[in-house]
């Protein structure tokens, strides 16, 4: 089968709250998704008829219900999910056609689909999706790409890694070994980004309502300070620095007499000073207070609480990652996985969150060489003369030759001895600017471009193979 045109490739990444969509891939670089649409659809209770948008005249009609097909990543209403796919497909074709009349005058079956899937979707659900894509939407090709594998391909094709996918109310830990999603080891927590909101409201900012807490979390002033950042703030306070995190200077000295004689409110003066510091481009982490806007346009002042709220979620994720990865028996691969941690989901957009999570993983799981063993090893390596080292090597080699003939050699290695975030690709400027919280979509772009433009069609499900073998052929592709 001839390769598909880049501008005809459709990529859909459905999540619980929103769905990322793109029709057409740029030839030179990968761009951020064209559309981010709510993952919902409307249904008439009596007839079962679906609407892509709520008709204004029926907005208060109790016979029309709003349906969310995906809940916590799982497909809860398959029929509604298929209708959501139909709506998205029709909408993007209509919009592209309006931008470029005649672009789809040819048969619509020239459009292939890459669908990013969740590990919880059942075999029956996946095969039903394949049947719908080929028989109802009349598409030409299909790739069902697991989220974990999509994230791995986005990170310069990582062979071994651990993907931590944080949703609003759930977090999934997804190991990948030799480019294979370990779905049987995948583990899901029943908490996600909303735990941050709950912690902020219950412990730190009870005066703010739910909408204001959410606005704060999504604002530029909310961030997580790493252990190093927290130590810096503590050291600054011990050194006599003010709340802005730097040594007091002439601009920072509070003249009490001037405040009293001015007749102005002390709080007003202090807030004005903080605003002045902010205007001087002082980093948010060094400001005692900062401000954010809520959904109603109110400018709200917040203190150090804007650095709090993430620890309970991070603690639970760290514990679950440790339990999940401990089930992988291959030590060499386990070590590689620990050194390639990928964090995705909206929560990962919070500045400093990923780094603080790594700090906690290191604290909870890193295996360090005992100090006395390290000292002895270094003494053995560096303290002897070159001659004695040479003799020791000869004796050791002779001993190895003796035991090798009778006893199998056993190598024991512990893991993890290093825990790191996977390295992001730096050559996708649009994604670097956008952020990597939805990097699985970038992985979908990478895979779609590779398989749908390849001269061989064994890497995706073709219409011909579907017609011959039916929905079960989705399990036979070489991808």
pLDDT in tens, 177-191: 999 999 999 999 999
In the predicted model, what is the mean pLDDT of the chain?
A: 85
- Residue 153 is encoded by which pair of tokens? 């391909």
Which of 18-22, 159-163, 407-411, 420-424 shows the lowest mean pLDDT across its residues?
A: 407-411
Question: Tokens at residue 458, please?
Answer: 């064994």
**How much is the pLDDT for 261?**
60
Residue 405, pLDDT score:
43
Bigger pLDDT: 306 vs 93: 306
CA-wise closest residue to 317 among 363, 283, 280: 363
User: What's the pTM value of the predicted model, to 2 decimals?
Assistant: 0.83
pLDDT value at residue 408? 40
Statement: residue 131 has pLDDT above 80: yes
**Is 135's pLDDT higher than 70?**
yes
Please tell me the CATH code under which domain 6-156+428-475 is placed. Answer: 3.30.420.40
Per-residue pLDDT tens over the stretch 356-376:
999 999 999 998 766 776 677
Judge whether residue 250 has pLDDT over 50. Answer: no
Q: Which DSSP string corresponds to 145-212?
A: EEHHHHHHHHTT--SSEEEEEE-SS-EEEEEEETTEE-TTT-EEES--THHHHHHIIIII-TTS-HHH
With 80 as the cut, is the pLDDT of residue 77 above it? yes
Could you identify the residue written with the tokens 């471009």? 449
Q: Which burial class, exposed, middle or buried, applies to 104 when counting CB atoms under 10 A from its CB (0-12, 13-18, 19+)?
A: middle
pLDDT at residue 105 greater than cutoff 60: no
pLDDT for res 446? 95
What integer pLDDT is reported at residue 398 of this predicted model? Answer: 46
Each domain of the chain, given as residue ranges in start order, spans 6-156+428-475
**Listed residue (451, 445, 421) closest to 431, CA to CA:** 445
Element (H, E) at 247: none
| pLDDT at site 335 | 95
Span 257-313, pLDDT tens digits:
555 666 667 677 677 766 666 657 789 999 999 999 998 999 999 999 999 999 999
- pLDDT of 142 > 90? The answer is yes
8 Å CB contact between 30 and 446: yes
Q: What is the pLDDT of residue 251?
A: 46
Closest CA to 423 of 203, 238, 156, 240: 156
**214-245 confidence digits (pLDDT tens):** 999 999 999 999 766 565 555 555 554 444 33
Confidence of residue 479 (pLDDT cuts 50, 70, 90): low
User: What pLDDT, on the 0 to 100 scale, is given for residue 188?
Assistant: 96
Residues 6+ apart with CB under 8 A from 147: 116, 117, 118, 119, 163, 165, 174, 344, 440
Helix (H, G, I), strand (E, B) or coil at 132: helix
Question: Would you place residue 418 in the very low, low, confident or very high pLDDT band (cuts 50, 70, 90)?
Answer: very high
């Amino acid at each position: 089968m001839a390769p598909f045109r880049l501008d005809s490739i459709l990529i859909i990444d459905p999540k619980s709250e929103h769905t990322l969509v793109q029709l057409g891939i740029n030839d030179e670089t990968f761009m951020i998704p064209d559309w981010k649409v709510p993952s919902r659809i409307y249904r008439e209770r009596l007839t079962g008829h679906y609407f892509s948008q709520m008709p204004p005249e029926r907005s208060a009609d109790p016979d029309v219900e709003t349906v969310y097909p995906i809940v916590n990543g799982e497909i809860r209403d398959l029929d509604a999910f298929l209708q959501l796919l139909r709506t998205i497909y029709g909408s993007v074709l209509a919009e592209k056609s309006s931008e470029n009349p005649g672009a789809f005058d040819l048969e619509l079956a020239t459009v292939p689909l890459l669908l990013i899937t969740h590990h919880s979707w059942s075999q029956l659900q996946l095969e039903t999706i394949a049947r719908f894509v080929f028989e109802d939407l009349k598409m030409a090709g299909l790739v069902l790409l697991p989220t974990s594998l999509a994230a791995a391909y986005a990170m310069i094709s990582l062979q071994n890694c651990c993907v931590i996918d944080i949703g609003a109310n759930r977090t999934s830990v997804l190991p990948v070994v030799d480019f294979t999603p370990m779905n049987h080891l995948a583990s899901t927590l029943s908490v996600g980004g909303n735990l941050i909101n709950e912690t902020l409201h219950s412990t730190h900012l009870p005066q703010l309502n739910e909408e204001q807490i959410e606005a704060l979390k999504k604002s530029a002033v909310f961030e997580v300070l790493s252990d190093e950042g927290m130590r810096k703030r503590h050291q600054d306070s011990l050194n006599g620095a003010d709340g802005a995190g730097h040594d007091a200077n002439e601009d920072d000295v509070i003249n009490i007499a001037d405040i009293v004689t001015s007749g102005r409110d002390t709080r007003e003066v202090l807030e004005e000073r903080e605003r002045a510091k902010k205007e001087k481009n002082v980093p948010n982490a060094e400001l005692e207070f900062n401000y954010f806007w809520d959904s109603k346009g109110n400018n709200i002042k917040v203190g150090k609480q804007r650095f709090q709220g993430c620890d309970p979620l991070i603690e639970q994720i760290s514990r679950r990652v440790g339990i999940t990865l401990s089930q992988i028996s291959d030590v060499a691969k386990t070590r590689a996985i620990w050194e390639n941690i990928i964090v995705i989901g909206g929560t990962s957009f919070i500045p400093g969150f990923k780094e603080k999570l790594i700090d906690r993983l290191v604290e909870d799981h890193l295996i360090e060489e005992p100090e006395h063993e390290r000292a002895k090893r270094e003494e053995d390596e560096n303290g002897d003369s070159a001659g004695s080292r040479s003799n020791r090597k000869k004796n050791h080699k002779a001993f190895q030759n003796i035991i090798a003939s009778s006893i199998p050699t056993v190598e024991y290695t512990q893991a993890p001895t290093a825990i790191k975030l996977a390295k992001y690709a730096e050559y996708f400027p649009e994604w670097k600017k956008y952020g990597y919280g939805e990097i699985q979509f970038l992985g979908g772009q990478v895979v779609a471009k590779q398989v749908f433009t390849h001269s061989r069609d064994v890497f995706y499900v073709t219409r011909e193979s579907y017609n011959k073998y039916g929905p079960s052929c989705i399990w036979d592709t070489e991808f």
